[in-house]
Amino acid sequence: MTIDPLTADRVGQLLSRLDVPGPRYTSYPTADRFTDTFGADQYREALRQRARDAAAGNAAPLSVYVHIPFCESICYYCACNKVITKHHEAAGDYLAALRREIELHLDVLGRGEPLTQLHFGGGSPTFLNDDELAQLMTLLREAFGIAPDAEVSIEVDPRTVDAGRLQHLAKLGFNRLSFGVQDFDPDVQKAVHREQPYEAVAALMQQAREIGFESINADLIYGLPRQTPTTFARTVAQMGALRPDRIALYAYAHLPQRFKPQRRIQAHELPPAGERVHMLRTAISGFQGLGYTHIGMDHFALPDDPLAVAKREGHLHRNFQGYSTQADCDLIGLGVSAIGKIGRTYSQNDKALSSYYDAIGRSQFATVRGLELDPEDLLRRDMIMSLMCQGRVTFEEIERNHGVRVRNCFASEIERLRPLEAQGLVALEPAAVQVTPLGWYFVRAIAMVFDRYLPVETLREPHFQGYSRVV
């Protein structure tokens, strides 16, 4: 998917109309639709149903996410659930709670469920020291049957690791690393309170390759304070030179009313909308010019990476961690604020560490909200995820899986797509909806048309609150 100069001009023309806040659709319905009527009892029942499915040989593949909330210092842009502390002894209590939470799951599921994906996120998982990481991995290996070819990944703060720690992570079984970079410009790093020299990140990536990690990922953010199209183009070139297997490129969402650390960012230092889209164009064309495949709105991968292969072969998926090669897995979320997906349900643990400890201490799941999807949710989820992953919805496949007539069920939505078709963002075929190369800039806005929880006027409302902007 190559963006030509004419298309680049068109992006600027469309920006004022379509650069509105909207969901990222790592799930549908989105997490803001979870309710407190779904709690620990409902989550336990979802696990029991999974156990019954497993006994009948019908269970979905299983993935586990472990949230480590601790960070030594605060990054001003961060919207994650985290605890800022330099007191590393805090990890001991947290590991004890994770142990008990794992036991609660084993009480329902039994021991040894096959595991195809394991991901440590945060916060900064590398806040844990080598012994603590080893303890946690031992707990998980004793609880689950981690498959030999499982993806075992961990988010890494480059400021907290060296070659010795990377060696230790490999020995523990981690085969994928995700480095949080965000930007290489020193002035931008100062503005967001995350200073890490390019040379240090480059050395770590080289050491990771020599150790033999299967995949090295890196995160970038555009729209940060003091960024300009020129400085970000330099960051794109520097990242391309490091040649990570995957690159995640996120738009900064400035929501200081929701995320207290962002109040330290000076709003006047944020780049205007026109410069943001220039950065996005620069990144897409820059990474494509370096041989990367544009997976979707925010991911790039080298052509032989499994993510790029999945995109070419039409079996790309999207989950709470972003784009994935894994099929429709069940996901157990462990730790404070962790989100899970079991069967037709979504669930989330308490976001407050004290409340999480209290629930686990009483031998109860810490689930405080969630959702059970109804048939219409499942139908619309397939529509939205097809757009987000493949850029195409084929009516025959949807109709076969859900027993509906797409043109009848979504007559009003198809009509709402016609202005987007006139703008060159989608092609409405007799039996499909196809996102155009230009439309990939605004794929979230296209998907929003099928979201029954958003008001029709959302696409025209520039101040819709609660989400990041779509570009």
Task: Please state, in angstroms and rounded to a whole number, the distance separating the CA atoms of residues 229 and 390.
Answer: 29
Q: What is the pLDDT of residue 461?
A: 43
Q: Which of 239-243, 387-391, 422-426, 437-441 has the lowest mean pLDDT?
A: 437-441
Contact 1, 437 (CB under 8 A): yes
Residue 92 banded pLDDT, cuts 50, 70, 90: very high
Antiparallel, parallel or unpaired: β 70-71 and 83-84? parallel
Going along 375-442, which residue ranges are E strands? 392-394, 426-429, 432-435
CATH 3.80.30.20 in the chain, residue ranges: 30-334
CB 318 within 8 A of CB 389: yes
pLDDT of 87: 85
Closest CA to 183 of 77, 291, 289, 288: 77
Q: Is the pLDDT of residue 373 over 90?
A: yes
Per-residue pLDDT band at 463 (split at 50, 70, 90): very low
pLDDT per residue over 99-143, tens digit each? 999 999 999 999 999 999 999 999 899 999 999 999 999 999 999
pLDDT surpassing 90 at residue 317: no
Q: What is the Cα–Cα distance from 222 to 240, expressed in whole angstroms?
A: 15
The dihedral over CA atoms of 391, 396, 397, 398, expressed in degrees to the nearest 10, equals 80
Is the pLDDT at 174 greater than 70, yes or no? yes
Between the alpha carbon of residue 280 and those of residues 3, 266, 467, the distances in Å are 11, 22, 18
φ and ψ at 428, to 5 degrees? -95, 105
Q: What is the pLDDT of residue 235?
A: 97
Give the integer Cα–Cα distance in Å for 256 and 250: 17
Would you say residue 175 has pLDDT above 60?
yes
Question: With contact defined as beta carbons under 8 Å apart, do 287 and 295 qualify?
Answer: no
Within the chain, which residue ranges are assigned CATH 1.10.10.920? 1-28+374-471
DSSP state of 271: P
Mean pLDDT in residue range 69-88? 87
Q: Give the span between the Cα atoms of 1 and 436, in whole angstroms.
A: 9
What confidence tier does 155 reach under pLDDT thresholds 50, 70, 90? very high
Q: With pLDDT > 70 as the criterion, what percentage of the chain qualifies?
A: 92
Among 237, 289, 277, 324, CA closest to 438: 277
CA distance 139 to 346: 24
Bigger pLDDT: 281 vs 61: 61
**pLDDT at position 316:** 87
Asked whether the beta carbons of 369 and 40 are under 8 A apart, the reply is: no
State the Cα–Cα distance between residues 154 and 133, nearest whole angstrom. Answer: 11
d(CA 42, CA 278): 46
pLDDT, mean of residues 428-435? 96
Mean pLDDT for 193-207 is 96
Beta strands per DSSP E along 157-214: 176-182
pTM: 0.91
pLDDT surpasses 60 at 1? no
Tell me what the mean pLDDT of segment 293-313 comes to: 90
pLDDT surpasses 80 at 10: no
**Predicted confidence band at 186 (pLDDT cuts at 50, 70, 90)?**
very high
Question: Which run of H or of E encompasses 168?
Answer: helix 163-172
- What are the DSSP calls for 56-84, one per residue? TT-PPPEEEEEEE-EESS--TT--S--EE
Are 242 and 205 within 8 A, CB to CB?
A: yes
Dihedral (Cα; 237, 79, 349, 333), 10-degree rounding:
0
Using CA atoms in the order 444, 9, 300, 434, what is the torsion angle rounded to 10 degrees?
50
Q: In whole angstroms, how far apart are CA 215 and each of 115, 168, 319?
A: 19, 16, 19
- On the question of pLDDT at 283 being above 80, the answer is yes
HSE (CB half, 13 Å, CA atoms) of 235? Answer: 31
Please give the mean pLDDT across all residues of the chain: 90
Cβ–Cβ under 8 Å, residues 217 and 246:
yes
Per 3-state DSSP, the chain is made up of helix, strand and coil in percentages (nearest 5) of: 45, 20, 35
How far apart, in Å, are the Cα atoms of 470 and each of 41, 230, 297, 401, 411? 36, 22, 9, 29, 24
For domain 1-28+374-471, is the CATH number 1.10.10.920?
Answer: yes
The pLDDT value given to residue 440: 83
CATH superfamily of 30-334: tm_1862 like domain (3.80.30.20)
Q: With 70 as the cut, is the pLDDT of residue 465 above it?
A: no
**pLDDT > 90 in the chain, percent:** 73
Q: Is 471 within 8 Å of 277 (Cβ atoms)?
A: yes
303 prior amide bond cis, ω within 30: no
Higher pLDDT, 259 or 14: 259
pLDDT at 437: 85
Task: State the Cα–Cα distance between residues 433 and 393, nearest whole angstrom.
Answer: 5
Higher pLDDT, 270 or 298: 270
